[in-house]
Chains A and B, each alone.
Chain A
Amino acid sequence: GIQVEQSPPDLILQEGANSTLRCNFSDSVNNLQWFHQNPWGQLINLFYIPSGTKQNGRLSATTVATERYSLLYISSSQTTDSGVYFCAVGGSSYKLIFGSGTRLLVRP
């Protein structure tokens, strides 16, 4: 099956800093989603982005499907950005495969 690797595993930022999270996958995909899980466990869909670039406020994402990676950019980070960011991918199967996540802590 498809392997998903996220980096870095842990990230600590000062409020206001920018960051880039990476998701590498081992096979071609037709489904890629980024999620944020806050410290209370709520899992929010940030982007559905099997290819191309999207932006939503301070967040943007780019997927280069031919090179099997996706990037999530967080600009001007805020303490509320803390939590775990998951990348999940799907190929020919129905199933979304989740990466292990990047744990982000934004300090005030």
Chain B
Amino acid sequence: DTEVTQTPKHLVMGMTNKKSLKCEQHMGHRAMYWYKQKAKKPPELMFVYSYEKLSINESVPSRFSPECPNSSLLNLHLHALQPEDSALYLCASSQGGILGVRSPLHFGNGTRLTVT
């Protein structure tokens, strides 16, 4: 069982919809991440939160909007997505803030997103 919980597991949305992906961890980790993974490719980093502050945005389009309400929760708000945004979205966490990337990265089970 993963210690990083993501909801929903599957999401189908139209290009005009607004939806949110949610991620929760209770391991006391201070860095949380959003990754995007296309089929047969490795995960690609999107955002990093360190101590609840957005530290890294890997030039992600503004139709993806992250939010970290507290140290255990991470959201990804989606608006006006394109079909090419269909992918597996993975949340991850690690200890110790952004430098905690030098500790094991723990992934959630992901949300499989389809944009129609």
Contact = CB atoms under 8 A, between A and B. Distances in A.
A10 to B, nearest CB: 11
Nearest to B50: A94
Interface in B58-116: 88, 90, 98-99, 101-107, 109-110, 112
Interface of B: 2, 37, 41-43, 45, 48, 55-56, 88, 90, 98-99, 101-107, 109-110, 112
Contacts of B48: 94
Given A33-B104, A35-B105, A43-B110, 19 more contacts: A31-B101, A41-B37, A41-B88, A41-B109, A42-B2, A43-B107, A44-B2, A45-B105, A45-B107, A50-B102, A90-B101, A94-B55, A94-B98, A94-B99, A96-B45, A96-B101, A96-B105, A98-B42, A101-B42
Interface of A: 30-31, 33, 35, 40-45, 48, 50, 86, 88, 90, 94-96, 98-101
Contacts of B90: 43
A42 B110 contact: yes
Nearest to B48: A94
B30 to A, nearest CB: 13
A45 B45 contact: no
7 contacts: A31-B102, A41-B110, A45-B105, A48-B104, A86-B42, A90-B101, A101-B42
Nearest to A29: B102
